[in-house]
Amino acid sequence: MLSVEEIRRQFPILHRQVRKGVPLIYLDSAATSQKPLQVIETMQRFYQLMNANIHRGVHTLAEESTAAYEKAREKIASFIGASSTKEVIFTRNTTEAINLVAYSWGRKFLQPGDVIILTEMEHHSNLVPWQILSSEKGIRLEFIPVQEDFLLDLDVYRRLLELRPKLVAFTHMSNVLGTINPAKDMIRLAHEAGALTLIDGAQSVPHFAVNVRDLDVDFMAFSGHKMCGPTGIGVLYGKQELLEKMPPFLGGGDMIKKVLLRDFVPNTLPHKFEAGTPAIAEAIGLGAAVDFLQEIGMDWVLAHEQEITAYGLERLSEIPGLKIFGPDASHKGGVISFTMQGVHPHDVAQILDQDGIAVRAGHHCAMPLHEKFHIPATTRASFYLYSRKEEVDLLVAGLEKILTIFG
């Protein structure tokens, strides 16, 4: 078992200064995580030694590149508990993965008047694709409300299921509130009502063990850059029997088996949904990130984040006029969003940056959720496997300084 300090030594960026004499305090991992040497060096080796396009060539570099790309798919399938590598589709990010389901499955199988259930805490990535589909096809969108305790109202959810929805799509963990939703129970109830399910796993897969077969989820989307991997690579998991029935999302090279002038035959899974030259180095880098996380252990990652988050909630509650949005630590991941009375969140973030403290300010791509609480924005501190209690203390000291500045 590695210590936090041993883990931190593997992240070069955590040892830089953002300006002379000001070390970086990185508390923005919900936006993107930092990358360990293992990932950086793996991608560098690919470009130095085996860079070639995949699946089409028979020369040595092409075969090595193809093998490394598909090996990464195997690692990811194992990491999330997929039954087959055919169920792992590489996309650019969570957003594209959800759009793939909306454009391919939604446009083929949904009819005017069909119901989709979402929640009030969704990231725009799991709102806008369904809003576009609704405007095109007359789909009805219904929403599970967020209660005053920042948890979903599951009694309302059960009543909404009486509408016999075709799909229930929800975030596994809120990127604003940190709320970890009871995904397994929600999926079971949806299936009992005859609905398929989609999980936005952008904030869950990087932070605790997620097994798609145990959850019995139909689709799940997540991004590489939030789990120690590179940007530009994400994953859509889908049950094979569903993916087989869905038409291709994009047309072009590699997603075809045969092309005539007026027709084509799509490729088999997973290639049917991976048109054109993919993000090869990024997929291989994501495979290295999965290796890194498994070496540390996802149970350790979760326990460490829970400890840091509980400490953060305790320390931040000491600051006068600071309001935290989110449930208590028992229902929460490593995210603390807050407002300070009389200080705009952007001012909070900008002043903290003077002390090297990187936090996020804004609506965090969840405008409807902020509107529900009648606030334009929040400041968000988010933690990961390399976060330390000392950094929480520095955050608190920075916030106390802001109180002094604004009186």
For the segment 292-350, what is each residue's pLDDT rounded down to a tens digit? 999 999 999 999 999 999 999 999 999 999 999 999 999 999 999 999 999 999 999 99
Q: Given phi > 0 = left and psi -120 to 50 = alpha, else beta, which region is 364?
A: left
Paired with 118 in beta bridges are: 143
Q: Which residue has the tokens 């129970």?
A: 185
Q: Which of 242, 262, 295 is the last residue of a domain?
A: 295
What is the sign of the dihedral through the CA atoms of 328, 329, 332 and 334? positive
SS3 (DSSP) at 234: strand
Q: Given phi > 0 = left and psi -120 to 50 = alpha, else beta, which region is 306?
A: alpha
Position 56 scores a pLDDT of: 82
Query: How many angstroms separate the CA atoms of 315 and 311, rounded?
Result: 6
Position 3 scores a pLDDT of: 93
Q: Does residue 35 lie in a domain region?
A: no
> If pLDDT is split at 50, 70 and 90, which confidence band does 88 have?
very high
Residues 14 and 62 in one domain: no
Q: Does residue 36 lie in a domain region?
A: no
Ramachandran angles phi, psi of 393, nearest 5°: -60, -40
For the segment 48-75, what is each residue's pLDDT rounded down to a tens digit? 999 999 998 899 999 999 999 999 999 9
pLDDT at 407 over 90: no
Using an 8 Å Cβ cutoff, are 382 and 333 in contact? no
Give DSSP secondary structure letters for 144-198: EPB-TTSSB-HHHHHHHHTT--SEEEEESB-TTT-BB--HHHHHHHHHHTT-EEE
Q: What is the mean pLDDT of residues 118-127?
A: 98
For the segment 3-14, what is each residue's pLDDT rounded down to a tens digit? 999 999 999 999
Paired with 26 in beta bridges are: 358
Give the pairing of strands 167-171 and 219-223: unpaired
- Report the side by side order of strands in the sheet with 115-119: 88-91, 234-238, 219-223, 196-200, 167-171, 115-119, 140-144
Residues 257 and 346 in one domain: no
Residues 247 and 145 in one domain: yes
Q: Does residue 370 lie in a domain region?
A: yes
Q: Average pLDDT of the chain?
A: 97
Residues 13 and 123 in one domain: no
Residues 208 and 337 in one domain: no
Residues 222 and 323 in one domain: no
Q: Does residue 352 lie in a domain region?
A: yes
Residues 339 and 196 in one domain: no
Give the pairing of strands 264-266 and 234-238: unpaired
Position 395 scores a pLDDT of: 98
- Domain extent, residue 284, equals 41-295
Closest of 302, 331, 325 to residue 375, by C-alpha: 325
pLDDT at 1 over 90: no
Residues 303 and 259 in one domain: no
Q: Which residue has the tokens 């804004």?
A: 362
Closest of 12, 42, 35, 50 to residue 288, by C-alpha: 42
Q: Does residue 82 lie in a domain region?
A: yes
> If pLDDT is split at 50, 70 and 90, which confidence band does 2 have?
confident
Position 142 scores a pLDDT of: 98
Q: Does residue 237 lie in a domain region?
A: yes
Position 272 scores a pLDDT of: 97
What is the set of active-site residues?
Answer: 365
CATH code for the domain in which residue 325 is found: 3.90.1150.10
Residues 249 and 329 in one domain: no
Give percent of the chain with pLDDT exceeding 70. Answer: 100
Q: What is the mean pLDDT of residues 374-397?
A: 98
Residues 117 and 179 in one domain: yes
Q: What is the mean pLDDT of residues 391-405?
A: 97
Q: What is the mean pLDDT of residues 248-264?
A: 94
pLDDT at 128 over 90: yes
Query: How many angstroms separate the CA atoms of 150 and 327, rounded?
Result: 5
- For residue 270, say if its preceding peptide bond is cis, omega within 30 degrees of 0: yes
Residues 128 and 162 in one domain: yes
Paired with 344 in beta bridges are: none
Q: Which two tokens stand for residue 193?
A: 């009502």
Position 57 scores a pLDDT of: 87
Position 327 scores a pLDDT of: 97
* Structural domain count of the chain: 2
Q: Which residue has the tokens 């063990």?
A: 209
Q: Does residue 307 lie in a domain region?
A: yes
**Interior CA angle at 236 toward 121 and 222, to 5°?**
45
Q: Which two tokens stand for residue 271?
A: 């290639």
Mention every residue, 6+ apart, whose C-beta is less than 8 A from residue 1.
297, 300
Q: Does residue 239 lie in a domain region?
A: yes
Residues 122 and 218 in one domain: yes
CATH code for the domain in which residue 263 is found: 3.40.640.10
Ramachandran angles phi, psi of 59, nearest 5°: -80, 170
Query: How many angstroms separate the CA atoms of 184 and 376, rounded?
Result: 32
Q: Which of 295, 319, 341 is the last residue of a domain?
A: 295
For the segment 270-288, what is each residue's pLDDT rounded down to a tens digit? 999 999 999 999 999 999 9
